[in-house]
Amino acid sequence: MIAVIGLGFVGLTTGLGLAHRIGCTLFAYDCDPKKRELYRAGRIPFHEPELQEHLGRYLGNRFVVCDTLEEALRSAEYIFYCVGTPALADGGADLNALLGGLKASREVLSDGRFRVLVIKSTVPPGTTSRVIAPLLEQLGLRPGEHVGLAANPEFLREGSAWRDVMEPDRIVIGEAEPDGGRRLAELYALGFDAPVRRVSATTAEFVKYMSNSLLATMISFANEMAMIAEQTGDIEIPQAFRLLHEDKRWHGTPAKMTDYVYPGCGFGGYCLPKDIASMIHHASVIGEHAGLLQAAVDVNQKAQMRMAERIAAAAGDQKSRKIGILGLSFKPGSDDVRGAVSFEIIRLLLGMGYLNIAAYDPLSMNAFDLAYGLPISYAQTMEELASGSEVIALITSWEEFIEKRHLLSGKLVIDGRYTEAQSGVIVHAGE
Ligand SMILES: NC(=O)c1ccc[n+]([C@@H]2O[C@H](COP(=O)([O-])OP(=O)(O)OC[C@H]3O[C@@H](n4cnc5c(N)ncnc54)[C@H](O)[C@@H]3O)[C@@H](O)[C@H]2O)c1
């Protein structure tokens, strides 16, 4: 049996969805008596396709609206907390409803039965492990021993909430302790065939924020572009966006937008840096401030500096340590070194006083030497570079580097392209 606490968009849809798919009895509670009355009458206080029909179908049998929190919790094995987490004046998330709901659950939760507490509300990264787990401990409910505890963020979209809950892309289970995560995965397996991804609670919370941050960035990007276009004049804005969408990077097969949504040590290449600089300049000439693009450039510089700092931190104060650079071209599969971030990173390292730098790239060593003439040496093979270096920085994600990763074992490796966990090669690209 399952309890759902908080019956807004997320709680109602989750509750009805679980009842529908798993066939369990759902005990639902909201602290707002008006909402409880409405639901009992089979009515929904907001518009959301398909929910009305499913509420009518399950109300009073699989979906029981409870008058008290205690009644909802008593026989539940899983408790989904779906209360609101609105913004405070300083931008932080207001966790009062959630923490208050957990505190109010204490008495029932102390009856000696093991229940899994599932945090479905959107909360800042770290909340479940660093705020909720200690709170439960204080209440005498040790996670993993007296209760299970998992973060399970929701990715539904209002307007298609039912469909999104019925057919999730993946179910993200963030484990504050392993037992709760395992049991929650077992529950979902009873009725959902979406992939279940078990990660740390903080990872799960972070993914939810990251997902919304990406959406917000893309929307602001489109709006900034439209404002520049408007101010430029003579630009057919809808057509311009339709043409942008037709690009196979974003649409169709093979659409590889995900290649661009992966961390690295910054973008480079011939076109992206210069074209974005030119767009920022153009915007300023016509009286528009391209704040988002400027922020993209600032973050890019910061990413390159951060990579140089990570290498320096690994090398330590001894400036004569041998640093090996894997990858010079701006992206794998190319010998183009124009605007390559490898140049900027090596330049920064030389500036910090590290003078014992060697590099290896399958295609672009000559081009790099000709273009930049930096005081570094070049290895003829990856083996040679690996054996001659103490600290190795992976700058371009060539397939060779991933295939021959074993050569790097026992070395201090700074993987600037996060290739460790990659199954396929991410071509982190300039364009
Ligand atoms: N709306 C969305 O599209 C969406 C999508 C994904 C995640 N989320 C997240 O899910 C959470 C819930 O969102 P929502 O849109 O359903 O919010 P909502 O405000 O519509 O509903 C929250 C409900 O919780 C009830 N509540 C508050 N404190 C309570 C308590 N202590 N005990 C019982 N009930 C309590 C409120 O009365 C309200 O009905 C938020 O953290 C939100 O960020 C929302």
Q: Decide whether any atom of ligand 1 lies within 6 Å of the 156 Cβ.
A: yes
> Which atom of ligand 1 is nearest the CA belonging to 32?
37
Q: Decide whether any atom of ligand 1 lies within 6 Å of the 10 Cβ.
A: yes
Write the CB contacts of 86 (distance below 8 Å, at least 6 apart in sequence).
93, 94
Same fold, 2-201 and 271-415: yes
Q: Which of 73, 154, 155, 210 to mutate to test the pocket of ligand 1 (most atoms within 8 A of CB)?
A: 154
Q: Give the whole-angstrom CA distance, residue 411 versus residue 321.
A: 13
Give the per-residue pLDDT at 380: 98
Q: Decide whether any atom of ligand 1 lies within 6 Å of the 79 Cβ.
A: no
* Nearest CA-CA partner of 72 in 126, 25, 119: 25
- Domains of the chain, by residue range, sit at 2-201, 271-415
Hey, which residues are catalytic here?
A: 271
- Mean pLDDT lowest for which of 52-66, 161-175, 252-266, 370-384? 252-266
The answer to whether residue 428 scores a pLDDT higher than 70 is no
> Which atom of ligand 1 is nearest the CA belonging to 100?
31
Give the per-residue pLDDT at 357: 98
Give me the chain's average pLDDT, please. Answer: 93
| Residue 157 labeled ligand binder | yes
The residue nearest atom 20 of ligand 1, judged by CA position, is 8
Task: Please report, as a single letter, which amino acid is at residue 296.
Answer: A
Strand partners, 63: 26, 59
Q: Give the whole-angstrom CA distance, residue 431 versus residue 226.
A: 21
> Which atom of ligand 1 is nearest the CA belonging to 10?
16
Residue with tokens 């910054």: 266
Q: Give 118-136 pLDDT, tens digit per residue.
A: 999 999 999 999 999 999 9
| Residue 188 labeled ligand binder | no
Give the pLDDT band (50/70/90) at residue 398.
very high
Q: Decide whether any atom of ligand 1 lies within 6 Å of the 100 Cβ.
A: yes
- Mean pLDDT lowest for which of 223-237, 243-257, 292-306, 353-367? 243-257
Q: Which of 37, 70, 82 to mutate to test the pocket of ligand 1 (most atoms within 8 A of CB)?
A: 82
Cβ(54)–Cβ(161) below 8 Å: no
Q: Give the whole-angstrom CA distance, residue 234 versus residue 58.
A: 56
Q: Once rounded to an integer, what is the mean pLDDT over residues 390-410? A: 95
Buried b (16+ CB within 10 A) or exposed e, 257-284: eebeeeebbbbbbbebbeebeeebeebe
Q: Decide whether any atom of ligand 1 lies within 6 Å of the 7 Cβ.
A: yes
Q: Give 76-114 pLDDT, tens digit per residue.
A: 999 999 999 999 889 999 999 999 999 999 999 999 999
Q: Give 42-89 pLDDT, tens digit per residue.
A: 999 988 999 999 999 999 999 999 999 999 999 999 999 999 999 988
Strand partners, 29: 5
CATH architecture under which domain 2-201 falls: 3-Layer(aba) Sandwich (3.40)
Give the per-residue pLDDT at 421: 54
For domain 271-415, the CATH superfamily is NAD(P)-binding Rossmann-like Domain (3.40.50.720)
Q: Once rounded to an integer, what is the mean pLDDT over residues 256-266? A: 85
> Which atom of ligand 1 is nearest the CA belonging to 123?
41
Give the pLDDT band (50/70/90) at residue 260.
confident
Q: Decide whether any atom of ligand 1 lies within 6 Å of the 30 Cβ.
A: yes
Q: Give the whole-angstrom CA distance, residue 176 versus residue 150.
A: 5
